[in-house]
Structures are given as structure tokens and as C-alpha cells.
Amino acid sequence: MKHKRYEKIGEDLYSGQLHNGLQINVVTKPDFKLAYAVFATNYGGAHRRFYLGGQMHDTPAGVAHFLEHKMFDMPNGDNALSILSANGAQPNAFTSSGMTAYHFDCTDGFEENLRMLLKFVSTPYFTDETVAKEQGIIGQEICMVEDNPGYVVYNRLMRMLYEHNPIRDQVAGSIESIAEITAETLYNCHKAFYAPSNMTLCVAADCDPERIFDIANEMLPRDRAEIPKADMGPAESDMPAKTYNEEFMEVSAPQFLIGAKVKPAPNGDALLRQKLTAQLAIRTLFGTSGDFYNRLYSDGTLNRDYDYEIDYAAGTATIILGGESNKPQAVLEEIKREISNVSENGLDKAAFEAAKHSSFGSRLRGLEDFDNICLALVDGVFGGYCALDSFSILDSISIEECESFLSSFMAADRLALSVISPVKD
């Protein structure tokens, strides 16, 4: 176990790897009653085709999400969710394109809850009957999502940007794909992806870090398993497969998303630096305190339903900006003009410095949220870096790096626009 003191932000990180390959990170929080733990696997909705044991395996869309739903069932008939709740914890789980995470927070009984978390996530139990029942439940969930304009506008954008990568598909799969899932499918995928060597445990609590390592050693398998290698399909073009799509739904005003693909940097500090550069560049030019947003807000082109992000998942990185507007095409043209101006004249230095200070402040405030710290550490484990290094790296990012990022990845021909418009009379 290694200890690193981050003096600038006042945090202590204890990290290490068990013999079985599990990566553990513990941020100690002296005198705090709240404790938080997340146990995550590098396995999400996009990991449908993978190489393991000398052969390629294909699985139906939606298995990772299906597994998340069923993992709370225990062999003795108990439900881990109920046990954790009865013990004063607030448990939950989620599946994204790139990972599945199980987590809880509590103020008492932390070690007991931690043991239960590690136990149920590492103990699969499925039957044909429970799988059939869950197919009906998840089927209803899929239908509800497909009627949601926010999901539809996002899904269409991803399908416009990505021609092959399974990130273009819904994490939960489709009615047809989940019908192919069996108990055997779930057991096989759990064995492949829920091995400690493909997982990480991250904790933020007033605790003895060595106790966390000891509990993990006690509760989890000792052997180190082979890590599956995901196949995300053929290499993607830098350009979107399609640049415009419009569909009609029952919405009061057009909803839109504008996106562009980014080629992720290699895992490690290079990836963390690119993430920070991307976030800083987009915040500088398209943040809600900047000229772009305030100008379009003042003339009524944009309203308060506007946001921006860059999402890294399953070997992809995607810039997304959008919200609600009666003139989504006009927003796209304004974005193109902003990028063209950056290429010719660079970013405004005062805006860049303000965005950097704001980014640092946001990250500093984020240290108050234990879930934010731990999930950032999880991302870092799967990306080969330490999230707490963000503060020192952010300081060193130059305005030229941000200008280069914007000009390279947000050029006019790389942008795609997805629109959901009100149903016409």
C-alpha cells in the first residue's frame, strides 16, 4: 500500500493492488461521519464483443445492464439492497457504456456494509425464472426510455457520430436483444468481467486504510484472472457518419444536441491531461459565463436549458453541447463561427484564465462530495491515472493547448446536429 499526501488540496490517498489484481484507493476523511464506497467493474453496455481464453465471444446488447439488475439477488433468497438499507446504508448501482458500479454511503456500520457490498457483487446467482421475470421489467424500462425526447435526441446523435462502435446503442439493449439473455449468459459474463483483476474498490471515509485492504482480501477470490479485451469494432472515421438528423415528438420546443468525436489520448497521464484540456477549452469558449452563451441567451436563441460536456467512455470521447432552442441550426452556425475565430485569433486570455480558476474551484468543491471523489478515482483506475493529480496538471495547461484542441476536434466538418422538433399539426 502506498500513501501520497496532496498538500495543495489537503487530501491523503492510500492506494495499492491486491494479489488478485484488484486496485484499491482510499481517501481518508478524518472526523467525518459519512462514509462512501464504490465497487466497480470495467464492463459496460459497449463491452459486447470481447477476446478471452484464446477466443472471441459475442453477447447480446444489454447484458451489462441486465447483470446490474440481477446482482442484488443472493443465493439464500435474500436481497442485498434490502440488507444494506436495513443496516442504515443508502445503496445503489448504475451501468454506463464503459462501466458498472455498485455503491453505498452510510454513517454507521461501514465495515459490515462494505463486506456485504463485496460479497453480493462477487456472488452471482441467477435462475431461468428470475431472468425471464427481469426481461419483462427491463423491457418496460426500454420502452419508457425510447419515448423520452432527451434520450432520443442523444441516441440519434451518437448514431450519427459513430458508425461501428457499440456506444451508439442503448446501454439497456433492445427488446429483441434482452430476449436472448439466459442465466448462462449472465454467469459467463460475470466470470469474465467481475474478476477482481478487472475491478476497483474506492473508499472515502474516516477509516484505517489497512482495514479496507484486509476486508477486500478476506471477502474476494485470491486468484488473478485474465482481463477480457474488448472489441469495439472497426476504427471510426474522424468525421461523423451523418451531419444532420431531425425527428418529431411531443415536445413544446425543439431540443437539440451538437456533437463531435475526439480521438482519446493513450491511457495514463496523457489521457488525464487531454480530459482536463478538453473540459477547460469547452468551458472557456462555450461556458455559461462566456460571451457565446450570453449573446445567444440575450437574443433568445438559447435559454437556461443549455449544457455542455465531453464524455469519455468505452474508448471514445465525445463533445456534446445542446439544450432547447427554436433555432438549433443558428446555434450550430454560431459554434462554427466561434471555432473559426479561435483558429484565426486564438482564445480570449481573460476568459481562459477565468475558466481555469473556475475549473479549479469546481474541482475543489467536488472534494466535499465523497461519491464525486470515488467515482473520479474509478475513472482514473480504468484510464491508468490518478484523478487527484488533476489539480497540478490543470495548473500547467496552456491557452495554446486549448486552442489546438478546439481547432482540431471542433472544425466545422466534424460537427453533427441532432434535433427533436414538435409534432407538426
| CB proximity list for 416: less than 8 A, separation 6 or greater | 157, 160, 161, 240, 242, 243, 244, 245, 258, 259, 260
| Confidence check: pLDDT of 262 > 90 | yes
Q: pLDDT (tens digit, 9 = 90+) per residue, 180-202?
A: 999 999 999 999 999 999 999 99
In this prediction, residue 15 carries a pLDDT of 98
Q: pLDDT (tens digit, 9 = 90+) per residue, 156-173?
A: 999 999 999 999 999 999
Average pLDDT over residues 281-307: 96
Task: State the pTM of this model.
Answer: 0.95
Q: pLDDT (tens digit, 9 = 90+) per residue, 37-96?
A: 999 999 999 999 999 999 999 999 999 999 999 999 999 889 999 999 999 999 999 999
Percentage of the chain modeled with pLDDT above 90: 97
Q: pLDDT (tens digit, 9 = 90+) per residue, 383-406?
A: 999 999 999 999 999 999 999 999
Q: Which are the catalytic amino acids?
A: 68
In this prediction, residue 77 carries a pLDDT of 87
CA 142 remoteness from chain centre:
20
In this prediction, residue 298 carries a pLDDT of 96
Distance between CA atoms of residues 50 and 41, nearest Å = 15
Q: pLDDT (tens digit, 9 = 90+) per residue, 340-359?
A: 999 999 999 999 999 999 99
Higher pLDDT, 315 or 277: 277
Higher pLDDT, 145 or 13: 13
In this prediction, residue 86 carries a pLDDT of 96
| Confidence check: pLDDT of 425 > 80 | no
In this prediction, residue 146 carries a pLDDT of 87
| Confidence check: pLDDT of 337 > 90 | yes
- The phi and psi torsions of 236 (rounded to 5 degrees) equal -85, 150
Which stretches does DSSP call E strand in 67-109?
90-95, 100-106
Distance between CA atoms of residues 228 and 250, nearest Å = 43
241 pLDDT band, cuts 50/70/90, is very high
Helix, strand or coil, per DSSP, at residue 342: helix
Expressed in percent and rounded to 5, the helix, strand and coil fractions of the chain are 45, 20, 35
CB 193 within 8 A of CB 124: no
Distance between CA atoms of residues 19 and 21, nearest Å = 5
Average pLDDT over residues 141-161: 94
Average pLDDT over residues 288-302: 96
Task: Kindly report the average pLDDT of the chain as a whole number.
Answer: 96
Distance between CA atoms of residues 85 and 96, nearest Å = 24
In this prediction, residue 319 carries a pLDDT of 98
CB 60 within 8 A of CB 181: yes
In this prediction, residue 353 carries a pLDDT of 96
CB 171 within 8 A of CB 18: no
129 pLDDT band, cuts 50/70/90, is very high
Average pLDDT over residues 120-136: 95
Q: pLDDT (tens digit, 9 = 90+) per residue, 20-41?
A: 999 999 999 999 999 999 999 9
